[in-house]
Amino acid sequence: MKPRITVVGSVNMDLVFRTPRMPAVGETLHGHEFCQIPGGKGANQAVAAARQGAQVSFIGAVGDDGFGSFSRDCLAAEGMELSHLARVAGTATGVAGILVDDSGSNSIVLAAGANATLTAAQVEAATAAIAGAQLLVCQLETPLPTVTRAIEIARAQGVKVILNPAPAQDLTDALLAQVDYLILNETEASQLSGITVTDQISAKAASEQILQRGTATVLLTMGEHGALITDEAGSQFIPAVKVDVVDTTAAGDTFVGAFAVGLANGLSVLDASREAQYTAALTVTKLGAQTSIPQRQQVLDFMAVRKAA
């Protein structure tokens, strides 16, 4: 039996520019190349889960444009259940403008498009898809009231909730108390805790502060500096998997999707996080979002090689 994951989230077309460095304000800079790659935090996390072996149901919205048709086809090719992926007439599909510099770092600008139209009523219509899952995965590139309603439905149905609170915004304690696993980066942790995260010590302090707001488990991802797991039993640090970085786009999303599958397969939080680290590490060795997310066998082979070294 495949693990069952339901994702409520965004679908974007990523317009990716490779550039030697980030341009200054008012500067025109010659880039290396340009490409269009399917993305969106929700879609990326769903693809990551599907490629790690899950049966994924996706709840979201695309526009009635070419980007929407292409994005839907890409998700369908992953074997996802898409009956709750709406096609919104007269609306553009979400777009992300992404600059990737020679170090692999990125800067992103979003235009939400159809993602902003996803309503609580659409989520309620997909209650069966949420109730039938082992885990619900959400992010914040769709309206917060819609995400909140999805989480409420999951809790009422006894389904565990993973929330990736990105892009960063203020969240209530009432919402955080309904989240079983909060997966966030340094920026998001700083905003939710009021503690600026710069190292392991401040990461631990921020995670503990967020834990006090009601979330059961906090996973703070810090890129090349590793990840920190914090729950009522304490904190545990996981070192990063070292690779040559090409593009960090979708690394966090890949971690979320892979972690969800690990949990659904019965792994502990620690072991699921370790597998997610390896999966995310492979992602940053390639350009783009969904084009860089590895298949399960690639991850298994990579782990075997690294553990044997």
Q: Domain spanning 8-308: which CATH class is it, in words?
A: alpha beta
CA 300 from chain centre, in angstroms, equals: 21
Q: What are the tens digits of pLDDT across the range 183-200?
A: 999 999 999 999 999 999
CA dist 266 and 164 (Å) reads 21
Q: What are the tens digits of pLDDT across the range 149-180?
A: 999 999 999 999 999 999 999 999 999 999 99
Q: Say what angle helices 251-264 and 269-283 make with each other, to 10 degrees.
A: 150
Task: Report the SS3 class of residue 269.
Answer: helix
- Residue 170 designated active-site: no
Q: What are the tens digits of pLDDT across the range 109-156?
A: 889 999 999 999 999 999 999 999 999 999 999 999 999 999 999 999
Q: Is 73 annotated among the ligand-binding residues? A: no
pLDDT of 108 reads 85
pLDDT higher than 90, residue 307: no
> 14: which strand partners?
37, 96
Q: Is 221 annotated among the ligand-binding residues? A: yes
SS3 content of the chain, % helix, strand, coil (to 5): 40, 25, 35
Q: What value does the mean pLDDT of the chain take?
A: 95
Q: Is 232 annotated among the ligand-binding residues? A: no
Strands 4-8 and 135-138: parallel
Q: What are the tens digits of pLDDT across the range 10-40?
A: 999 999 899 999 999 999 999 998 989 899 9
pLDDT of 309 reads 63
Q: Is 33 annotated among the ligand-binding residues? A: no
CA dist 48 and 251 (Å) reads 10
Q: What are the tens digits of pLDDT across the range 60-114?
A: 999 999 999 999 999 999 999 999 999 999 999 999 998 989 888 888 888 999 9
Q: Is 247 annotated among the ligand-binding residues? A: yes
Q: What are the tens digits of pLDDT across the range 204-256?
A: 999 999 999 999 999 999 988 999 999 999 999 999 999 998 888 889 999 99
H-run or E-run covering 201: helix 200-212
Contact 65, 276 (CB under 8 A): no
CA dist 146 and 116 (Å) reads 10
Q: Is 53 annotated among the ligand-binding residues? A: no
Q: What is the DSSP letter of 24?
A: P
pLDDT of 106 reads 83
Residues in the chain: 309
Q: Is 285 annotated among the ligand-binding residues? A: no
Q: Is 207 annotated among the ligand-binding residues? A: no
Residue labelled with tokens 């993602």: 115
Q: What are the tens digits of pLDDT across the range 248-303?
A: 888 999 999 999 999 999 999 999 999 999 999 999 999 888 989 999 999 999 99
Residue 38 to residues 165, 222, 260, Cα–Cα distance (Å): 21, 24, 21
Q: Is 303 annotated among the ligand-binding residues? A: no
Burial of 32 (0-12, 13-18, 19+ CB in 10 A): exposed
Q: Is 141 annotated among the ligand-binding residues? A: yes
Residue 162 amino acid letter: I
Domain positions in the chain: 8-308
Phi and psi for 99 in degrees, rounded to 5? Answer: -105, 125
Of the residues 73, 170, 253, 301, which is catalytic? 253
